[in-house]
């Protein structure tokens, strides 16, 4: 004999009703699984695989299935942190302040260390004492901006990513 | 990936993951595909369900091994010996695909009479300079016979300028001497046969520790499943690349696949499984020191690139796709420097910095440890845990004046100054550190290029929280500030920055998908950037449809020529195309694949020399005699109207030099390279060398390890001698499904952390018995560089091997832990060494030596106990969702233990 | 049946029964099912405890872990597809013997609530919290459960577990909320290799039988279906499996017990015991009046007769 349904059971449904559905790509490995990101009131409420993709056809691995926890995570840092020389703690700073200061640091290094000709007399026009690392987890467009600004603009030569590790 | 580039032309996987489902046999080697790429592994598994044979050859029995039909254990670092054995077996038993090899490879090409093989040089090819630890470049005899001497292209090994054109420049003639019978003693085929003649099953077994019959079994399985009717694929990952001989292992796979006729065909190919969401993209549009976008070489002092004219002349390639190199290079300069780039000023070529040293990641970490680096910007990378010899990397970070980090979590790299158990007192570390919180992929627009060259767009779903911003926002805003600083400068060195085109602002207020306006100001428009990458006509700003439209007179601009065609009209972002094509397994309408939306590279080889499919079963791209065009399921990777019967004349140049039976159109001779006359710095053919750290002597040659490897002396970076009795155990690192790389994207996540909560090391029951270790015990593993502690996972999956008559033990070390995050543990990379292979400045984390004992490591401060489980979620009810539709876990938000 | 302690909602119309078919021969042990389940249901982690038992660190199903991947490293008995180490050589002069180098098979399968067609938990629940929903799945109604835990001891698979946080019992809902909106359960959707399949039970059973034939045909003689049909005292399962080794290898009971199946016998024992006790009491009473009373029969003997 069937037990009766409670009001909660009867009213339950998937929380996706009314959510905006956005197409995304998994940020972990290079398989390139397509994801559906569901948003309500500016908040991501669910991330799952996209059935449409010929790569993953709705599926995800445990890391892909975990993507939501990259977005909503108590460990996630959401403000600029600054550690002064010789300090033993972080301080919170405004974003604009940090950008200004980083620009100053870059300019100072460039003014000091830019090499027009190296010791052998070869034309270099490079800045060998500042490096830039990372890119394999970023978008193509971001890699393009990094290479363009830091290399084509500032002359930084040690621009590298995860490809060699 | 020069291993692939040297063999076939492009440094990228030749096929798509999806196409692996059409394979009749898949050899997975140097890849733990089921664990590292579980969703990609669907396709070999689909093939298995259709009757294909799956083979895993690997030092470590993983979840991949468990799902394959055959598993062959080998000693870490002996892959060339094994593949060499397979190649020999295929040659000696005439199992190669004759028609394919004769037409599509350089098997019949005759090699310079001065060429000396390793078989004659006891492990060295001709041209080795022992004092410099390198082969001479340019003049060496690894070349086609009767060629005009190539211009001397002196490239010291410390400059890893891997320009393809440099490599190709050595061959300017599309029609070198050739013996169609393959009998000439100096033809490539005969050289190949002699080169691998001593790689007998018994020799392979004594080097690799596998049973001798495994060689024949694998070779037979591959050969049985290759030919007109069938195809086999090879899958690899960092298990092949992270060796001093990595490029040559991939070359060996290339040789094997060419001999079996499996390149450019459905179900065939070589699938390189790459690790990060866009590591292929960040190689194509490189954040790499020696390349400009589209594999254009970074100008280098050593190659006399003072002026544009010299640069173009030095890198000139007469034939094939690269013959248009000036168009790609000039269009890039136009994209960067806009109207200021004119013929009069070399299109701003002087503003592009020249490399005068090896500035790649690992040598730069070495420089950093020596205090030669002032500032460092790190975007989503974790060298404090992920670098080989991570201790040395952390020692380097401590010496920086300033460090800028952009990330989501406080990684090992963000916290090295106070959390490193092996570190210094923060009060002694002078580094000024800026941590900028980053946006996640779902919080920004942009494209990733996956491991199959597929460029896929992700739409922004929501704003990132707080002050978190996209990396693009950060670089764009920083660029605006820097341009402002130098706005009025007249110094030549500042003109590049002054004129850098930097107009990416959004044109209208951004409305998010849920209808709310974005609160983030100053975000660059990612589609504007991709339009520039695609290229446009300078005069009217119209998008170009493909790289064939590019010019070298400044009339076109293009940020990355190989991506040209991805945004062919102003409102047609093909990376964002999400249409399926029923009936076409290539799925050409799902996103966009470089080059020119090609899913299987070199696919002209899917047809026979006359242009007909090799078989109905393996039909893919073919010559339509009626329309006189190539057609099929995929974009033909070939001049679209090139008749299969066409043969170039002696004076044919550029694309006219590519014969109708020459599928490898980036090669000047159009052929797949069994023998690589140029392109590698350690030999034209793969040769078995031992890892730098090995428990045994090289059985084949007097030369122990790759002679052109570069070592870095430092007190934190000592190496074990070959066969050093102090370190008799072989170690290899590996990945677990549940974690991601150094853990930055998994150990801050409770759902993943609980699945693999602690650092462990896998060993065989026999080794455990020898060392008195029980399953679950703490053990200490040490070598010439460091000691780490971990829990022992004693498992019969790890098998001792009999190598050269004695038992060699191997241990498997997952490399996911560190001192930051919710679950912590020793950094596996403290054990690995910093060294660079001759070709791509790669390290050797997949094969090194160590010793171990029972017990914890006393000298190093104990890592803090794993944090208590995070209550998850930090519960806020799902917005705009009635109580009955809230997830049930909401009730479980309290900490349970 | 117990009276309804709540205002019963309208009874939804029954749908075609649904369930899971989990195929161990396709499982790659990736645990995507575990994470996808936690993501959709927003379940907390159970704790960070390394156990050294192959790659199994969540160890069992619990109130916060509704999918659990079991791992077993078993000696290889030769033959068959999952003898992956068949090419592996034992070291010729192993000090311990060739056993240590012997090939093994590594079994993996994703465990879950079985959604029994006749569920002991539902039978044990005194409050009406456990129901068969319109899809025939066994569902714990969170607004009814009072945490008594009768179901916990009734389940022969150890699925049901009471949470310390809210005191209620939580387990796989078979994504009841998603099914209502026509969505596939999170674990089955995520599973990269379709080792976990979701669908109407009738279709799943047919597919499973076909799959079994296929797997056997290629040499996996030991393969069988677990729970696809009723067996012994137990009903068929709404979540059944294709396995290639003994159930115990996957931590599944070879013959699950359904407490209610023993009820008639247990009631009979109780009744007979009562009769026997009465008899003893009567004898004692009688004995107090005279030595000539008959020798007593012990209750145990009475039970034996019933059995």
Q: How many CB pairs under 8 A join A and B?
A: 529
Q: How many CB pairs under 8 A join A and C?
A: 114
pTM over 0.80: yes
Could you tell me what percent of chain B has a pLDDT over 90? Answer: 87
Alpha carbon distance B645, C273 (integer Å): 98
Residue B163: is its pLDDT beyond 70? no
Tokens 């996630």 identify what position?
Answer: A76
Q: Which of A31, A48, A96, A106 is most worth mutating to test chain B (most B CB atoms within 10 A of its CB)? A: A31
DSSP assignments along C207-273, one per residue:
HHHHHHHHHHHTT-TT-EEESSS-BTTB--BSEEEEESS-GGGGT--SS---GGGGHHHHHHHHHHH
Mean pLDDT over each residue of chain C, to the nearest integer = 85
Which chain B residues are within 8 Å of A117, Cβ to Cβ? none
- Whether the pLDDT of residue C86 is over 50: the answer is no
**CA dihedral (B237, B239, B242, B244) positive or negative:** negative
In the prediction, which pLDDT does C77 show?
A: 53
Share of chain B above pLDDT 70, in %: 94
Residue B121 has pLDDT above 60, yes or no: yes
Model pLDDT for residues B332-375, shown as the tens digit of each residue: 999 999 999 999 999 999 999 999 999 999 999 999 999 999 99
Say if residues A104 and B440 touch (Cβ distance below 8 Å).
Answer: no
* Average pLDDT estimate for A11-33: 96
CATH number listed for the domain at residues C18-257: 3.30.70.20
Of the candidates A77, A137, A143, which has its C-beta nearest B435's C-beta?
A77
Q: Do A162 and B279 touch (CB under 8 A)?
A: yes
Per the CB < 8 A criterion, the answer to whether B601 and B12 are in contact is yes
| Beta-carbon separation of A24 and B441 below 8 A | yes
pLDDT of residue B316: 82
Q: What percent of chain C has pLDDT over 70?
A: 82
Average pLDDT over residues B39-44: 98
Instruction: Check CB contact under 8 Å for A106 and B886.
Output: no
3-state secondary structure (DSSP) of residue B72: strand
- Chain B, window 783-822: residues with a beta carbon less than 8 angstroms from a chain C beta carbon: 791-793, 795-797, 799-802, 807, 822
Q: Given an 8 Å threshold on Cβ–Cβ distance, is A7 in contact with C9? A: yes
Q: Report pLDDT for C102.
A: 55
> What is the 3-state composition of chain A as percent helix, strand, coil, each rounded to the nearest 5?
30, 30, 40
Q: Does B220 touch chain C (CB under 8 A)?
A: no
Over range B535-548, report the average pLDDT.
98
Instruction: Yes or no: say if C225 and C208 are a contact pair by the CB < 8 Å rule.
Output: yes
C48 contacts in chain B (CB < 8 Å): 753-754, 757-758, 822-823, 866-867, 869
Q: What is the CATH number of the domain that holds A44?
A: 3.30.200.210
Distance from B76 to chain A by nearest Cα, in Å? 17
Closest by CA position to C71, among listed C81, C62, C59, C80 = C59
Q: Where are the beta strands (DSSP E) in B295-425?
A: 296-297, 375-379, 402-407
Q: What CATH number has the domain bearing residue B238?
A: 3.40.228.10
Tell me, yes or no, if B525 comes closer than 8 A to chain A by beta carbon.
Answer: no
C176·A5 Cβ contact <8 A: no
Within a domain: A37: yes
Query: With bands split at pLDDT 50, 70 and 90, how would you rate the model's confidence at C267?
Result: confident
Higher pLDDT: A1 or B546? It is B546
Among B226-235, B850-859, B872-881, C245-254, top mean pLDDT goes to B226-235
* CB contact (8 A) between residue A132 and residue B479: no
Decide if B204 is inside a domain: yes
- pLDDT (tens digit per residue) in A63-100: 999 999 999 998 999 999 999 999 999 999 999 999 99
With cut-offs at 50, 70 and 90, classify the pLDDT of residue B303.
confident
Residue A160: domain span: 114-165
Contact with chain C for residue A49, Cβ under 8 A: yes
Interface contact B495, partner A, CB < 8 A: no
Query: Do the Cβ atoms of B73 and C88 come within 8 Å?
Result: yes
More confident residue, A32 or C279: A32
Beta pairing class for B729-734 and B806-808: unpaired
Greater confidence (A29 vs C86) lies with A29
Question: Looking at the domain assignment, is residue B446 inside a domain?
Answer: no
- Using the beta-carbon criterion (under 8 Å), do B472 and A145 form an inter-chain contact? yes
pLDDT of B158 strictly over 50: no
Contact list in A for residue B454 (CB cut-off 8 A) is 32, 55
Mean pLDDT over B401-423 rounds to 96
Q: What is the CATH number of the domain that holds B740?
A: 2.40.40.20
Quote the number of domains for chain A.
3
Choose among B314, B295, B260: nearest CA to B138: B314
Cα torsion through B759, B765, B766, B771, rounded to 10? 50
B894 assigned to some structural domain:
no
Q: Say how far apart CA B279 and CA A55 lie, in whole Å.
A: 17
Which residue, among C6, C71, C89, C93, would best test binding to B if mutated, counting the most B CBs under 10 Å from its CB?
A: C89
User: Which residues in B466-605 belong to E strands, given as ranges?
Assistant: 536-537, 556-557, 592-593
Query: Which of A62-76, C49-63, C279-293 has the weakest average pLDDT?
Result: C279-293
Distance CA B700, CA B317 (A): 37
How high is the ipTM of this complex?
Answer: 0.98
Kindly list the residues from chain C whose CB atom is less than 8 angstroms away from the CB atom of residue B734: none
Which residues on B lie below 8 Å from C29 (Cβ)?
Answer: 63, 66, 737
A50 falls within a domain: yes
Q: Is A10 inside any structural domain? A: no
**B277 has a pLDDT exceeding 60:** yes
Q: Where are the domains of chain C?
A: 18-257, 261-306
Residue B17 belongs to some domain of the structure: yes
| Residue pLDDT, tens place only, B774-806 | 999 999 999 999 999 999 999 999 989 999 889
- Predicted pLDDT at B12: 93
Q: Are residues A101 and A119 in the same domain?
A: no
Instruction: Give kind and range of the element (H or E) at residue B623.
Output: strand B621-624
Once rounded to an integer, what is the mean pLDDT over residues C250-256? 94
Residues of B in contact with A121 (CB under 8 A): none
| B750 in contact with chain C, both atoms CB, cutoff 8 A | yes
pLDDT at B252 over 60: yes
Q: For the segment C137-188, what is each residue's pLDDT rounded down to a tens digit?
A: 999 999 999 999 999 999 999 999 999 889 999 999 999 999 999 999 999 9
Residue of C nearest to A4 (CA): C8
Cis peptide bond upstream of B595, omega within 30: yes
Q: Which of B401, B442, B870 sits opposite A44 (nearest CB)?
A: B442
Q: Does B679 touch chain A (CB under 8 A)?
A: no
C128 contacts A5? CB cut-off 8 A = no
Contact assignment for C164 to B894 by CB distance below 8 Å? yes
Domain-embedded: residue A2: no
> Do the strands B53-58 and B70-73 form a parallel or antiparallel pair, or are they unpaired?
parallel
Average pLDDT of B401-414? 98
pLDDT at B172 over 80: no
Residues B81-107, mean pLDDT to the nearest whole number: 98
Is the pLDDT at B159 greater than 60? The verdict is no
Q: Into how many domains does chain B fold?
A: 2
- Does B485 contact chain A (CB < 8 Å)? yes
Domain that holds residue B751: 710-854
Which range has the worst mean pLDDT, B438-452, B537-551, B799-813?
B799-813
- pLDDT at residue number B865: 52
Is residue B491 within 8 Å of residue A116, measured between CB atoms? no
Please judge whether C130 and A9 are an interchain contact, meaning their C-beta atoms are less than 8 angstroms apart: no
Overall size of chain C counted in residues: 307
- pLDDT band (50, 70, 90) for residue C206: very high
Say how far apart CA A77 and CA A66 lie, in whole Å. 18
In the prediction, which pLDDT does B260 show? 98
Cα–Cα dist B456/C107, whole Å: 36
Q: Which residues lie across from C225 on neighbouring strands?
A: C242
Boundary (domain end) residue, out of B272, B301, B327: B272
B835-875 residue pLDDT tens: 999 999 999 999 999 999 999 997 655 555 545 555 555 67
Q: Residue C36 and residue A7: Cβ atoms within 8 Å?
A: no
Q: Please answer yes or no on whether A17 and B293 come within 8 Å at the CB atom.
A: no
Q: Is B493 within 8 Å of A116 (Cβ atoms)?
A: yes
* B663: helix, strand or coil: coil
Q: Chain C within 8 Å of A59 (Cβ-Cβ)?
A: yes
Q: How confident is the model at residue B146 (pLDDT cuts 50, 70, 90)?
A: low
**B433–A162 C-beta distance less than 8 A:** no
DSSP assigned state of B511: B
Same domain, A62 and A44: yes
Mean per-residue pLDDT for B508-536? 97
């Amino acid at each position: 004999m069937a037990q009766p349904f409670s009001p909660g059971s009867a009213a339950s449904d998937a929380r996706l009703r009314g959510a905006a559905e956005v197409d995304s790509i998994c940020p972990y490995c290079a398989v390139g699984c397509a994801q559906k990101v569901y948003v309500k009131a500016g908040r991501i409420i669910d991330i799952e695989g996209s059935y449409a993709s010929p790569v993953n056809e709705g599926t995800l691995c445990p890391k892909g299935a975990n993507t939501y926890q990259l977005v909503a995570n108590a460990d996630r840092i959401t403000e600029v942190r600054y550690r002064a020389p010789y300090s033993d703690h972080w301080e919170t700073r405004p974003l604009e302040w940090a950008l200004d200061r980083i620009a100053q640091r870059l300019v100072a290094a460039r003014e000091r260390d830019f090499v027009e000709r190296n010791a052998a007399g070869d034309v270099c026009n490079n800045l060998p004492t500042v490096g830039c690392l990372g890119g394999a987890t970023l978008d193509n467009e971001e890699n393009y901006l990094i290479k363009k600004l830091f290399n084509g603009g500032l002359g930084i030569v040690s621009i590298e990513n995860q490809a060699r590790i | 990936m020069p291993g692939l580039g040297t063999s076939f032309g492009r440094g990228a996987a030749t096929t798509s993951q999806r196409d692996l489902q059409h394979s009749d046999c898949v050899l997975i080697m140097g890849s733990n595909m089921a664990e590292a790429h579980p969703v990609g592994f669907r396709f070999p598994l689909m093939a298995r369900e259709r009757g294909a044979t799956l083979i895993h050859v690997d030092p470590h029995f993983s979840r991949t091994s468990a799902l394959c039909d055959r598993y062959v254990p080998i000693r870490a670092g002996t892959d060339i010996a094994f593949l060499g054995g397979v190649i020999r077996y295929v040659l000696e038993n005439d199992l190669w695909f004759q028609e394919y090899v004769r037409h599509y490879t350089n098997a019949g090409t005759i090699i310079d009479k001065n060429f000396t093989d390793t078989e004659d040089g006891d492990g060295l090819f001709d041209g080795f300079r022992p004092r410099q630890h390198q082969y001479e470049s340019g003049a060496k005899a690894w070349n086609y016979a009767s060629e005009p001497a190539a211009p001397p292209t002196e490239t010291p090994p410390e400059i890893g300028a891997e320009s393809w054109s440099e490599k190709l420049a050595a061959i300017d003639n599309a029609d070198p001497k050739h013996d169609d019978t393959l009998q000439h003693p100096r033809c490539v085929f005969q050289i190949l046969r002699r080169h691998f003649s001593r790689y007998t099953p018994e020799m392979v077994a004594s080097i690799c520790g596998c049973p001798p019959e495994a060689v024949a079994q694998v070779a037979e399985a591959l050969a049985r499943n290759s030919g007109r009717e069938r195809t086999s694929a090879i899958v690899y990952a960092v298990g092949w690349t992270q060796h001093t001989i990595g490029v040559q292992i991939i070359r060996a796979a290339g040789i094997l696949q060419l001999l079996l006729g499996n390149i450019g065909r459905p179900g065939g190919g070589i699938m390189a499984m790459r690790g990060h969401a866009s590591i292929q993209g960040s190689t194509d549009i490189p954040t790499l020191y020696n390349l400009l976008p589209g594999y254009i070489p970074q100008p280098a002092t050593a190659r006399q690139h003072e002026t544009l004219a010299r640069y173009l002349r030095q890198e000139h390639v007469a034939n094939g796709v690269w013959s248009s190199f000036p168009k790609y290079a000039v269009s890039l300069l136009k994209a960067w420097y806009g109207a200021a780039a004119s013929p009069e000023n070399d299109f701003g070529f002087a503003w592009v910095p020249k490399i005068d040293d090896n500035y790649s990641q690992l040598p730069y970490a070495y420089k950093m440890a020596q205090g030669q680096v002032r500032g460092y910007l790190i975007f989503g990378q974790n060298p404090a845990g992920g670098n080989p010899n991570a201790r040395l990397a952390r020692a380097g970070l401590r010496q920086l004046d300033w460090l800028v980090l952009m990330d989501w979590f406080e990684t090992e790299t963000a916290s090295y100054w106070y959390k490193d158990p092996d570190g210094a007192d923060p009060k002694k570390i002078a580094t000024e550190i800026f941590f900028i919180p980053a946006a996640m992929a779902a919080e920004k627009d942009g494209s990733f290029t996956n491991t199959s060259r597929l460029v896929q767009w992700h739409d922004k779903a929501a704003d990132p929280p707080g002050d978190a911003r996209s990396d693009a926002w950060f670089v764009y805003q920083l660029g605006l500030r820097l341009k402002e600083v130098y706005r009025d400068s007249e110094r030549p060195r500042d003109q590049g920055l002054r004129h850098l085109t930097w107009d990416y602002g959004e044109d209208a207020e951004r409305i998010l998908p849920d209808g709310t306006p974005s609160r983030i100001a100053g975000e660059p428009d990612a589609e504007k950037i991709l339009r520039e990458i695609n290229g446009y006509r300078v005069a009217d700003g119209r998008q170009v449809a493909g790289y064939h439209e590019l010019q070298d007179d400044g009339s076109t601009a293009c940020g990355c020529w190989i991506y040209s065609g991805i945004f062919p009209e102003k409102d047609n972002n093909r990376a964002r195309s999400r249409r399926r094509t029923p009936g076409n397994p290539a799925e050409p309408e799902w996103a966009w694949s470089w080059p020119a939306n090609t899913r299987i590279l070199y696919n002209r080889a899917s047809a026979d020399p006359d242009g007909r499919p090799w078989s109905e079963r393996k039909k893919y791209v073919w010559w339509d005699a009626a329309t006189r065009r190539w057609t099929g399921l995929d974009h033909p990777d070939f001049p679209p109207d090139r008749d299969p019967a066409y043969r170039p004349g002696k004076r044919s140049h550029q694309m006219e030099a590519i014969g109708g039976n020459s599928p490898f159109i980036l090669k000047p001779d159009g052929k797949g390279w069994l023998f690589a006359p140029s392109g590698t710095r350690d030999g034209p053919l793969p040769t078995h060398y031992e890892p730098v750290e090995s428990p045994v002597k090289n059985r084949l040659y007097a030369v122990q390890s790759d002679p052109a490897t570069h070592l870095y002396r430092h007190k934190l970076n000592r190496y074990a001698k070959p066969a050093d009795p102090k370190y008799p155990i072989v170690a290899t690192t590996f990945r677990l499904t549940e974690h991601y790389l150094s853990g930055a994207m998994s150990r801050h996540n409770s759902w993943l952390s609980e699945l693999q909560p602690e650092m462990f090391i896998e060993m065989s029951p026999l080794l455990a018995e020898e060392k008195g270790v029980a399953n679950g015990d703490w053990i200490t593993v040490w070598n010439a560089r460091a000691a780490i502690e971990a829990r022992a996972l004693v498992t019969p999956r790890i098998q001792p091997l009999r190598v050269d008559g004695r038992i060699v033990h191997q241990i498997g070390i997952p490399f996911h832990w560190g001192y930051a995050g919710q679950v912590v543990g020793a950094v596996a990379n403290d054990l690995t060494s910093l060294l660079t292979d001759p070709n791509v400045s790669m390290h050797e984390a997949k094969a090194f030596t160590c010793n171990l004992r029972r017990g914890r490591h006393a000298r190093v401060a104990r890592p803090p106990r794993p944090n208590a489980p995070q209550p998850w979620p930090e519960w806020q009810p799902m917005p705009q969702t009635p109580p009955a539709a809230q997830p049930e876990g909401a009730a479980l938000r309290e900490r349970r233990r | 049946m117990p009276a309804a302690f709540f205002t019963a909602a309208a009874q939804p119309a029954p749908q075609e029964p649904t369930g899971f078919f989990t195929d161990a021969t396709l499982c790659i042990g990736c645990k995507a099912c575990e994470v996808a389940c936690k993501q959709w249901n927003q379940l907390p982690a159970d704790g960070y405890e390394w156990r050294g038992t192959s790659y199994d660190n969540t160890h069992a199903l619990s109130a916060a872990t509704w999918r659990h991947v079991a791992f077993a490293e078993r000696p290889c008995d030769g033959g068959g597809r999952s003898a992956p180490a068949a090419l592996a050589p034992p070291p010729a002069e192993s000090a311990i013997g060739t056993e240590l180098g012997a090939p093994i098979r590594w079994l993996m399968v994703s465990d879950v609530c079985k959604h029994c067609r006749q569920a002991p938990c539902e039978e044990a629940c005194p409050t009406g919290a456990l129901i068969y929903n319109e899809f025939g799945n066994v569902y714990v109604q969170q607004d009814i459960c009072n945490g008594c835990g009768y179901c916990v001891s009734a389940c022969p698979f150890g699925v049901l577990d009471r949470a310390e946080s809210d005191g209620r019992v939580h387990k796989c809902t078979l994504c009841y909320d998603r099914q209502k909106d026509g969505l596939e359960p999170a674990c089955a959707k995520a599973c990269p290799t379709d080792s976990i399949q979701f669908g109407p039970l009738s279709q799943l059973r047919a597919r499973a039988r076909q799959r079994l034939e296929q797997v056997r045909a290629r040499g996996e003689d030991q393969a069988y279906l677990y729970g696809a049909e009723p067996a012994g005292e137990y009903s068929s399962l709404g979540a059944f499996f294709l396995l290639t080794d003994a159930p115990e290898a996957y931590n599944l009971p070879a013959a699950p017990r359904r407490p209610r199946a023993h009820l008639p016998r247990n009631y009979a024992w109780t009744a007979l015991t009562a009769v026997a006790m009465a008899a003893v009491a009567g004898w004692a009473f009688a004995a107090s009046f005279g030595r000539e009373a008959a020798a007593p029969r012990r209750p145990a003997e009475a039970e034996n007769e019933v059995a």
